[in-house]
Amino acid sequence: MQQSPRILIAEDESVIAIDLAKTLEKLSYKVIGSSRNGKDVIKKAGVLKPDLILMDILLDGKINGIQAAEEIMNTFDIPVIYLTAYADPATLEKAKLTEPFGYILKPFDERTLHTSIEMALYKHEINKKLKERTEELKIEKEKSELLLQNILPIPIIKELKEMGIIKPFDYESVTILFTDFEGFTQLATSMPPGELVAELNELFKNFDMIIHKYGLEKIKTIGDSYMIGGGFPIETEDHAVSIVKAAIDMLEIVKERNSNSKYEWKMRAGAHSGNIVAGVVGKIKYSYDVWGNTVNLASKMERLSMPGKINITAATYELIKNEFDCEYRGNVEILGNETIEMYFVNGYKSSKIKSKKEVVPASA
């Protein structure tokens, strides 16, 4: 310690107070004040912010030393050493509860006073450091946990922590949804980079909230494309319904955004339901990902969709038809001679609480 510690004395007997101050000065502490009244000690502690308070248990006024000490330690975090003339067990017990930094029995000798003060200052300092370090550690742990959640789904993190390894896993029935913005590249070239990324970020941030709301898994964004899944890593029954609900909300967000923005985002969505394999791959920039024909087909559904529309396969349609109004698009050719039955989701069935029809007029 470069500066001599500053000490406040609380003592109702002025002879003792003066004697104490003299001894303290001799030990090269700085006595910055003295008080005989409990209320006054609290006030002085707050104003003077001493490094330590020597506190007589018996003080003038309604507030005794123990009460004053408790208030001071809680409010100002200043260490207190009790001075006590008598060792009445009940009072000592009460004093102990306030976790003081030491007791000195009167009459005190210089050496005891010195070591008690040094100890109290040390204890206070090191406990403060320990508390700070513990707090920093807690914050850092939360930070790394959040980052891990930015890379892997929570159940997968749990598996990783328990097993030390993540194995690829087959899922029989999931739904994958892709969205992207038609004409994005042209729009992108007409916008300053900062604005482009800010716009996308705003949209994706809102999408992230929707995904969270429906308990779905964001897989990743790929440029202007947003990819999500339902039914894994924790298997669920209603993955297709949740995905379609999320897609409707996402289109709604885009519509709102378009109405107050100079840009027009033409989002299209496509989904398919089926089996996938999911797992973690890579050494650097490792990520949780999904594979299988279901994924490819979902991506194709998105490409064959239209702005403001959700395009789904018959497999997804079968899972959601009770809740949503859909429109059959026919058997559409997807690759060479392959064809697939596609549907547009028009909105919630009119019997459902939410009734949303056409979301954005289809104008490709």
Partner 1 sequence: MNGSKTRILIVEDEKIIGLDIKRTLERIGYEVVNIVKSGESAIDLAGELKPDLVMMDIMLSGGISGIDAAEAIRRKFDIPVIYLTGLTDEETFDKAKITQPFGYLPKPFDQKGLHSAIEMGLYKHKIESLLKQKTIELEEEKKKTDSLLMNILPAGIVKELKLNGSVKPRLFESITIMFANFHNFITLIQKYEPVKVIGQLNEIYHQFDMIVEYSGLEKMKTIGNTYIICGGLPIESDDHALKIIEVALKMTEYVQRLNSKNNHEWQLRIGINSGQVVAGVVGTHKFTYDVWGNTVNIASRMENSCEPGKINITRTTYELVNDIYDCQYRGKLNAKGMGEIDMFFVNGLK
Residues that bind partner 1 (CB under 8 A): 115, 119, 122-123, 126-127, 129-130, 133-134, 136-137, 140-141, 143-144, 147-151, 167-170, 184-185, 188-189, 193-194, 196-198, 200-201, 204-205, 208-209, 211-212, 218-224, 277, 279-287, 289-293, 295-296
**Residue 354 Cβ vs partner 1, minimum distance, rounded to whole Å:** 24
CA gap 120, 108 in Å, rounded: 16
CB of 150 to partner 1, least distance (A): 6
Nearer to partner 1, 14 or 201 (CB): 201
Question: Measured from the CB of residue 26, what is the shortest distance to partner 1 in angstroms?
Answer: 18
Burial of 37 (0-12, 13-18, 19+ CB in 10 A): middle
Provide, rounded to whole angstroms, the least separation between the CB of residue 90 and partner 1: 24
CB of 226 to partner 1, least distance (A): 9
Please state the closest distance from residue 280 (CB atom) to partner 1, in A. 8
Distant-in-sequence, close-in-space partners of 275: CB < 8 Å, separation ≥ 6: 170, 171, 172, 173, 174, 292, 294
For residue 248, the minimal CB distance to partner 1 (Å) is 20
**Residue 62 vs 167, nearer CB to partner 1:** 167
Q: Which two tokens stand for residue 208?
A: 């992230």
Q: Which is nearer to partner 1, 254 or 345 (CB)?
A: 254
Least distance from partner 1 to the Cβ atom of residue 220, Å: 6
Q: Give min distance, CB of 218 to partner 1, in A.
A: 5
Of 45 and 52, the one with the shorter C-beta distance to partner 1 is 52
Q: Which is nearer to partner 1, 177 or 320 (CB)?
A: 177
Based on CB atoms, which residue is closest to partner 1, 338 or 361? 338
Cβ closest to partner 1, residue 85 vs residue 130: 130
Cβ proximity to partner 1, 226 vs 324, nearer residue: 226
Rank residues 214 and 348 by Cβ distance to partner 1 and give the closer one: 214
3-state secondary structure the chain: CCCCCEEEEECCCHHHHHHHHHHHHHCCCEEEEEECEHHHHHHHHHHHCCCEEEEECCCECCCCHHHHHHHHHHHHCCCEEEEECCCCHHHHHHHHHCCCCCEEECCCCHHHHHHHHHHHHHHHHHHHHHHHHHHHHHHHHHHHHHHHHHHCCHHHHHHHHHHCCCCCEEEEEEEEEEEEECCHHHHHHCCCHHHHHHHHHHHHHHHHHHHHHCCCEEEEEECCEEEEEECCCCCCCCHHHHHHHHHHHHHHHHHHHHHCCCCCCCEEEEEEEEEEEEEEECCCCCEEEEECHHHHHHHHHHHCCCCCCEEEEHHHHHHHCCCEEEEEEEEEEEECCEEEEEEEEEEECCCCCCCCCCCCCCCC
Smallest gap from Cβ 355 to partner 1, in A, equals: 29
Residue with smaller CB distance to partner 1, 85 or 126: 126
The tokens describing 357, both together, are 């029809």
Report the DSSP pairing between strands 310-313 and 287-291.
unpaired
